Structure 1
Amino acid sequence: MAPVPDSTVVAYRDDGPLSRAMGLLVAGQLPPLPPVVAGAFVIGVLLAIGVAGSDGLAVFAPAVTLLLAGPGSTHPHDGRFDWLVPPVLRLIEYAFVMACGFAHETPPVLIFVLLGALAFHHYDLVYRLRHRVYPPAWLATFGLGWDGRMMAVSLVALSGWTTVGYVILAVYLWALFGWESLTCWLAAPRSGVPGTDTGTQD
């Protein structure tokens, strides 16, 4: 599989303000893939030993991921396998959301509603970037990014209000991503969508 263009791979990461700020510290000099793979391994170990269910350790998983993967956010992602970074970040985020939810006895329907909001956003992001319909810069900030969402899940787990927190987060993200996607596609020129350009000439 060939890697997609550099700027598109970076956009697929869906970094939030925290991750982007850490990337600025290293000015794009840190290769993105090795730290993300290391972060996935560490998160897997933490989840395997029950970190998501421990009130004292729940914050470590997103913090570790942020420290490892965040600095790579400003790299151009032009390596042969750097296209793997976004799917690894998706795996980390989804696994953490599920682990925290199930460990704190959150109703499964709420867990999957929250995951649905994330999956919808990431699918929409991939689809629109393929057709050069770019999301506004503010979306990653208000959408919190993978880093901010993991931190939010961790904080509600630490507070003991996991169910309420998942409800609030799911409603907020569905409203934000759904509204922004709808308005963006309605405003997009039809020529930017395959199949709408008939190719006729005057």
Structure 2
Amino acid sequence: MITQPQTSPVPDPYEERLRIQTARLLAYRDDGPLVMALRDKVGPGLPPVPAALAALLAIVAMAVSGMLDEGPVLLVPVLVMVALVLPTVARDHLGRLDWLMPPLIRTIEFLTIILIGLAADAPKWLLFVLIYVIGYHTYDTVYRTRQSIWPPDWVFKAGLGWELRLLLIGAGAAFGVLTWVLAALTLYLGVLFAIESVTSWVRLDKQSALAQAGDDLEASPEEAMEQATGEAEPA
């Protein structure tokens, strides 16, 4: 009995584009283990952009009103952001304006770090370094995914995500140990993101070099010489 070869169905180009778009936006959010653990437990979730804008406005209102002074109150903006932004992870992020969600999350995260740090009188240079480290991680993620190179899931979990980073900072400010928390967090994230990024790109370069070497072995001597010198050997 002769059977026909099984062919895998060709994915619909539109659906594949939507899948990649959603995966990129979720990666750019930089959600941590807490958000990932609760992703399937928040029901339908909140509309991403309106919820993020509400969190941003609430935090700005706290700062303008002078509410952010010192002590446990410094944990309030973090709780507001977590309460409003965490449930948005359940959405598919395919709305017309959902591409705004990652920059909104980074904006709120950086603004909250600055406001809490200034209110708790933390070293400004330490706040700058921490924001730089997180920004580098965001840039590295964006640059990789644009080349279809996806960071492993463990990087986002080990990086704690925006939610655990802010909860640690808020708790540190509430208990009067913010400088130590900032220093430890900056050192940990800096080492983690730097080593993982460098090793990943080095590994990718080696794979590219091996692939190029394999192609060169299949080339004729004349083609190999032409690739090496940029000129063809005279006949």
TM-score normalised by structure 1 residue count: 0.87
Structure number with greater Rg is: 2
CA distance in structure 2 between the partners assigned to 1:57 and 1:91 by the alignment: 21
Q: CA separation in 2, counterparts of 1:90 and 1:11?
A: 12
User: Residue 151 of structure 2 corresponds to which residue in structure 1?
Assistant: 135
Q: Distance in 1 between matches of 2:171 and 2:122?
A: 15
Asked if structure 1 preserves the Cα contact closer than 8 Å seen for 2:172 and 2:181, the reply is: yes
**1:52 touches 1:103 (CA, 8 Å); kept in 2?**
yes
Match of 2:95 in 1: 79
- 1:30-109 correspondence runs (5 A): 30-109=46-125
- Of residues 166, 171, 181, the one that matches 2:187 is 171
The alpha-carbon distance between structure 1 residues 130 and 190, as it changes in their structure 2 partners (threshold 3 A), is farther
Give the letter for the 2:30 counterpart.
Answer: D
Partners of 2:164 and 2:31 in 1: CA distance:
9
Matching residue of 1:180: 196
Tell me the CA shift for residue 189 of structure 1. Answer: 5.6
Offset from partner CA, 1:157-200 (integer Å, 9 cap, x none): 012112111111110110011111111111226788xxx9xxx9
The 1:183–1:191 alpha-carbon spacing in structure 2 relative to 1, beyond 3 Å, is: closer
Structure 1 residue ranges without an equivalent (≥5): none
CA distance in 2: counterparts of 1:53 and 1:30, whole angstroms? 30
Point out which structure has higher relative CO (alpha carbons under 8 A, 6+ apart).
Answer: 1
CA RMSD after TM alignment: 2.4
Aligned to 1:162: 178
2:10 aligned partner = none
1:34/1:21 Cα in 2 relative to 1: closer, same or farther (>3 Å)?
farther
Please give the secondary structure, in 2, of the residue aligned with 1:56: helix
Identity rate, percent: 34
Q: Is the 8 A contact 2:48 2:101 kept in 1?
A: yes
Residues 10-47 of structure 1 deviation map (CA, whole Å, 9 limit, x = unaligned): 11100112222333113555432221111111121122
Contact 2:72 2:173 in 1 (8 A): no
Structure 1 runs (4+) deviating above 4 angstroms are 189-192
Partner SS state of residue 188, structure 1:
helix
Whether contact under 8 Å (2:24, 2:145) holds in the other structure is: yes
1:150 to 135, 157, 166: 166
Q: Does 1:6 align with 2:22?
A: yes
- Post-superposition shift, 1:73? 1.1
Aligned residue for 1:115? 131
Quote the offset at 1:114 in angstroms: 0.8
Q: Distance in 2 between matches of 1:166 and 1:120?
A: 17
AA aligned opposite 2:114: M
CA–CA distance in structure 2, aligned partners of residues 181 and 28 of structure 1: 34
C-alpha contact 1:7 1:76 (8 A) present in aligned 2: no
Q: 1:124 aligns with which of 140, 145, 161?
A: 140
Equivalent position amino acid for 1:98 in 2: I
In the alignment, residue 58 of structure 2 is paired with which amino acid? V
Letter in 2 for 1:162: L
Paired letter, 1:35: A
